[in-house]
Amino acid sequence: MITDRPLTDWLPITKKEVESRGWSELDVILISGDAYVDHPAFGTAVIGRILEDEGLRIAIVPQPNWKDDLRDFKKMGEPRLFFGVTSGCMDSMVNHYTASKRRRSTDAYTPGGDASFRPDYATIVYTKILKKLYPEVPVLIGGIEASLRRVTHYDYWEDKLFPSILKSSGADMLVYGMGEMPLREITRLASKGVPFSSMRTIPQTAVLVPKSEALPKNKNWEDLTLSSHETCLKDKRAFAANFKHIEQESNKVRAKRIIQSIGEDQLVVNPPYPPMTENEIDTSFDLPYTRLPHPKYNKRGSIPAYEMIRFSINMHRGCFGGCSFCTISAHQGKFIASRSEDSIVKEVDAVTKMPGFKGYISDLGGPSANMYKMKGKVQSICDRCVAPSCIHPVICSNLDTSHKPLTEIYKKAAAHPDVKKAFVSSGIRYDLLVDSYNKKHDDSLDEYMDQLVSNHVCGRLKVAPEHTSDNTLKVMRKPSFKHFHEFKKRFEKANKKHGLNQPLIPYFISSHPGSEAEDMANLAAETKEMGFKLEQVQDFTPTPMTVATIIYYTGLHPYTLRSVYTAKSKHEKKKQHLFFFWHKRENHHEIREKLTAMGREDLIDKLIADKKRHAKQEFVKQRKKQKQRKHSKRR
C-alpha cells in the first residue's frame, strides 16, 4: 500500500531506520512472529507504541530468519534494557496447523499470505536464540502463545503436557493477558536500573524462582498452590483440578497469586491488574498508529489479517461468555474494558481518511460484538464473584445487559458524513437478545435489534449457537438451542419490518467434548428443518488453557472431575464432521450406514431421502398391491 507518509511515522524495523533517528543504541528490541502492522489490533504494534510513549528507543524485528546465520537477531545489536518476544497474534501452532494437524499452506499474518516465515513454537525458538547470542540480556515473553502456556498445559500437537513456557524457553519473565499495564511498570523499573531478578511482584507477570530462594513477599496477595508439574505428568486428575483454580483466579477481581513447582523452581504467577479503566484503554487506542503495514512490505503482497480489519474498529476488550472452547477470557479477562464513545468516534473519523476507504466500516465490534459497556450493577458483588461466565447457566441478575450505549455508537458511526455503512461483523451473543434467556433485560433490546438489522448487517448475520444438543451445549457453557429458535424468529421479524431478507449464518463445532455422533445427526436434522445448509463449521481444536482442552486430554470436567466423552480418534471425528454435509450426495451412502448402525433410521428420511426415488418406490409398491387385489378377486 503506497502512502506519502514519512518512514519515521512507523516504528523502525531496519538498522537504517534506527540510524536515521540518530539512535546509536536501542532500549528495547521486540521480536515478533508476525509482520509489523502498525495498527491497534496487532499486539506488537501496541507494545511498541506503549514503549515509545514511555520515551524509550525501540525497534521491531518482525519475522526474523531463525534458520540462517541469525543475522536478523544480530542486526540491531544488544538493547539497553531487554528483548521482548512474541509469536504474534496467534499461538504459532494454531497458526501453522489445522484441527487435523495438517500443515496450513498460508499464513494470514505474513505479506502475500506466505507460510513458513515463523517457526513452530516461535516464542521458545526466538528466546533460545537470544539467550545464546546475548546471555546477559533479559528476555520478556508475551502475547497469546506465552500467555496461555503460562502454567503446565496440554499441547495438542505433541499430544503431551508441557511445563510453563518460562521453563521451556529460558525467558526471564512472562507477561500474560493484554500487556499495556505490566509493560509500563516493567519499563519504568528497568529504566531506573532495577534488575529483572528483582522484579518479582509486578501484577500480571510470571517468573521462575529457584526453590533455594524465598518467595517474594506481597502482603496484599494470598497464595494458591497448584499440583506440581511433575504430579500433573503422572496424574490427569490433578492436572484437571488445577485448571479450575487457574480459570477462577484469572477471572477474579481480587485474585490469588498462583504457585506451581517445576523441578528445582517455583513458578510464580502474580494476580492480574484490574480491568483497564476507560481512560487507560483510550490512551492505548489513541497512540499514534499509522494503521498501516510497514512500507517495507509494499512489494510483497497484502497481509490477509490486516485486509480483514483494515477498516474495522474494536470497541472493547474482554468477554464474560466463558465458553469452554474459547481463550478470550483466559487472555483478555471476563470483565469488559470499554473505550469511550469519543475515542471510538475519533477512530471512525480516522478510518474514513485512510487510503482506499470507500465508505464502508467493516466492523464495529469486539471479542463479542454486543458486550460494549456491560458490567455488574453492583461492583461489590462482582468483586466477590468466582463464576467463569456471567451468562451461563443463566444470565446473572447483577449483570447490566443494556444495549443502549452500543446502539448510540452504531447511530453515531452511521451518521458520519463519509460513512455509507458501518457493519457489525464480529459475532453477536444472540442469547442476550432473546426474552426467553435474557429475562430481566431493560427496554433497549428492540431498538438495538432494529438498528442492527436495518443498518449494520453486511448481507448475512453471523451467530454461534455452536451445537443443538443441550448436553453438549452445557459442556460448552452455551444456552439451550431453543433460544436460538427464538432469536431466528425475532431476527426474521425485524427483517420483515424493514423489508429486508438477510440470512442468519450459524456456526457449529463438531467433536467438542460431550458431543456424540448421534448428537451430530440430530444437529443435522434440526438445522435442515430450520432451512440451513451449514457452511461455517469446524472441528474442535484443543488449544492451550481452555476447559474443553482439559476435558479432551484428561476425559474429566475440571469443575466436577466427572468423566465426559470426547471424540478423539480420526474415525470418530470424521463421523461427527460428516453430518454437517448431509447435503452432499457423495456422503449419502455413508450417512445412511451410520444412521442405520446407530438405530436412527428415522433420520434417514429427514436428512437424505431422495424424493424422486422415494416417490417411484411408493408408486411401484401401490401398483403391486393393486395387482394383488385384482388377482385375488379373480380367484
Give the side-chain half-sphere CA count within 13 A for 61: 25
CB atoms within 10 A of CB 360: 13
Supply the minimum distance, in Å, between the C-beta of residue 490 and ligand SF4.
Answer: 24
Supply the minimum distance, in Å, between the C-beta of residue 330 and ligand SF4.
Answer: 16
Supply the minimum distance, in Å, between the C-beta of residue 536 and ligand SF4.
Answer: 28
- When asked if residue 437 is in the footprint of ligand SF4 (CB under 6 A), the reply is no
Cβ-based nearer residue to ligand SF4, 375 or 577 = 375
SS3 577: helix
Query: Does residue 383 contact residue 348 with C-beta atoms inside 8 Å?
Result: no
Q: Nearest 5°: phi and psi at 18? A: -65, -45
Supply the minimum distance, in Å, between the C-beta of residue 185 and ligand SF4.
Answer: 25
Cβ-based nearer residue to ligand SF4, 206 or 390 = 390
3-state DSSP helix/strand/coil percent for the chain, to nearest 5? Answer: 40, 15, 45
Q: Which of residues 213-272 bind ligand SF4 (CB under 6 A)?
A: none
Position among 14, 261, 352, 398 found at the interface with ligand SF4 (CB under 6 A): 398
Position among 215, 345, 385, 537 found at the interface with ligand SF4 (CB under 6 A): 385
Judged by CB under 6 A, which stretch of 122-130, 309-317, 384-392, 547-555 contacts ligand SF4? 384-392
Return the closest-CA partner of residue 529 out of 485, 496, 490.
Answer: 485
- When asked if residue 387 is in the footprint of ligand SF4 (CB under 6 A), the reply is yes
- When asked if residue 396 is in the footprint of ligand SF4 (CB under 6 A), the reply is yes
DSSP, residue by residue, 123-168: HHHHHHHHHHH-TTS-EEE-SHHHHHTSSSEEETTTTEEE--HHHH
In whole angstroms, give the CA distance from residue 536 to residue 514. Answer: 20
Cβ-based nearer residue to ligand SF4, 392 or 573 = 392
Give the side-chain half-sphere CA count within 13 A for 7: 14
Supply the minimum distance, in Å, between the C-beta of residue 212 and ligand SF4.
Answer: 40
Position among 194, 381, 394, 615 found at the interface with ligand SF4 (CB under 6 A): 381
Supply the minimum distance, in Å, between the C-beta of residue 320 and ligand SF4.
Answer: 6
- When asked if residue 395 is in the footprint of ligand SF4 (CB under 6 A), the reply is no
Supply the minimum distance, in Å, between the C-beta of residue 115 and ligand SF4.
Answer: 40
Give the side-chain half-sphere CA count within 13 A for 5: 20
Judged by CB under 6 A, which stretch of 256-264, 303-311, 379-387, 436-444 contacts ligand SF4? 379-387
- When asked if residue 484 is in the footprint of ligand SF4 (CB under 6 A), the reply is no
Supply the minimum distance, in Å, between the C-beta of residue 431 and ligand SF4.
Answer: 14
Position among 390, 520, 523, 603 found at the interface with ligand SF4 (CB under 6 A): 390
Count interface residues toward ligand SF4 (CB under 6 A): 10
Side chain identity at residue 139, one-letter code? V
Cβ-based nearer residue to ligand SF4, 131 or 316 = 316
Q: Which of residues 319-358 bind ligand SF4 (CB under 6 A)?
A: 320
Report the Cα 453 to chain-centroid distance in Å: 25
Residues 239/245/249/252 CA torsion (nearest 10 deg): 140
C-alpha cell, 422? 458501518
Buried b (16+ CB within 10 A) or exposed e, 41-71: bbbbbbbbbbbbebebbbbbbbbbebeeeee
Supply the minimum distance, in Å, between the C-beta of residue 181 and ligand SF4.
Answer: 20
- In the complex, the residues that contact ligand SF4 under the rule CB under 6 A are 320, 376, 381-382, 385, 387, 390, 396, 398-399
